[in-house]
Amino acid sequence: MRPLGVTVISVIMLIGGILFFISGLSLMFSKDVAYPIFSEEYKVLLNQSMYGMANVTEELLKEIYDTLIYVAIFFGAVYAVVGFGLFTMREWGRIATVILAGFNVLYGIFLMLIQPLAAVSVVLNLLVIWYLMRPEVRDKFTRKISIEDRVLGNQNP
């Protein structure tokens, strides 16, 4: 039986993965409309953060935009696969979720320098790690195989 917390976390990861994936695809297919907006906004951001000393070329902006597309699609796929693994109670899904939450904690700490509200993300990801590492939750992911099943070859009871 899947614990409610595991179900909630896995559904959130699946939804997040789908949203990342759709975002990447929409950026890819609407490049003619989205890129000029991205280009102008990113130039303003870089000039503000570099005190007007940023020398940003159009080629660099195109590379950044293309990289964002592929990163969004990649993370969408990763989150969806890991969310599915967690939902189906696979040990690799639990471990991968803990690793992703750990990276999100590190990213959130870095982001707190810019946006203090990122502390909420850090706390939520720490709660995910804590919950998935609890012994009673971790035990739900380990499959107990009896000696009879092992000898007879039935590895998936």
Asked if residue 152 is part of any domain, the answer here is no
CB 9 within 8 A of CB 130: no
Question: What pTM was computed for the model?
Answer: 0.80
H or E element, residue 10: helix 4-29
Tens of pLDDT, residues 24-60: 999 999 999 999 999 888 887 777 776 666 677 788 8
Per-residue confidence (pLDDT) for residue 154, from 0 to 100: 63
Asked if residue 150 is part of any domain, the answer here is no
3-7: long-range contacts (C-beta < 8 A, 24 or more apart)?
3/137, 3/140, 5/131, 5/137, 6/86, 6/87, 6/89, 6/132, 6/137, 6/140, 7/87
Shared domain for 16 and 84, answered yes or no, is yes
Asked if residue 154 is part of any domain, the answer here is no
Query: What is the extent of the structural domain holding 1?
Result: 1-89
Asked if residue 60 is part of any domain, the answer here is yes
